[in-house]
Structure 1
């Protein structure tokens, strides 16, 4: 019998007093609320605006997503007739039957150039883009808008997290797209 009494007294000794089992204390609730507020603040203020708020954020999101370059195709320069996978000019391609406008750049025109210098630079940009696309697998990333006014898909093309459009800009064959076409003459 003394064993049972000892066993019961051990059980009773581990139970919390009834007054502390009745609910959460105010200090615990405030501490919990403070933790949630702190986590929310870190995510909201340090995480930046949502991707739909700015195209610059869409570009950085696109580059961050580019960790898996999986698209590979053989590109030539587009000619007359049906188009499947080819380069139209320095900022427009066909990929497996889909017409894509490279959203982060503008290049000189090849179809209606304003002068011979623009035509030459446009052809250089076209050939360079074909070479870049043929070098290795790449990613095609969406931006905040799906299509332009001509029905072309607006995308950023990147490899290893770097925009191929940025490569063309660095080489002097394109400019960053700012919503206005430049006079290349």
Structure 2
């Protein structure tokens, strides 16, 4: 009986934390509840050079460069399975406490909706100081880094989904 009660309490706490954090992240990333889902998605979409907020981070995509076959040098580097797309992004902590930026929490999408995950291994060679690998950013501070995606040679990325954590709702940045 005691084990069952303990398990039930733990399960309830985990469920409550999960539901609560999702609601908080969603609320902090959307501007308004009015206007339906399309208005919310449109308001949450930024373009290259425009700031976009998700949770404690303000992201500004500076540039993208696709068609890169290899990152690094002859001795230390990585070859793309298809092509590397390098996304240079500025990440600013707009919160009131330190937040960890993790490049592997970022996603890229092709026009057909195919989702691509970031390549953390290749990002090590694209960033001199590991800016996009588990980097704690204090409030008011910002870092510039490169998030790397390894995509097929014939694919063109159309948008990014940037997250302040793996559990956040994310913000969309159009690449075209």
Fold in common (TM above 0.5):
no
TM-score normalised per structure 1: 0.26
More helix by share: 1
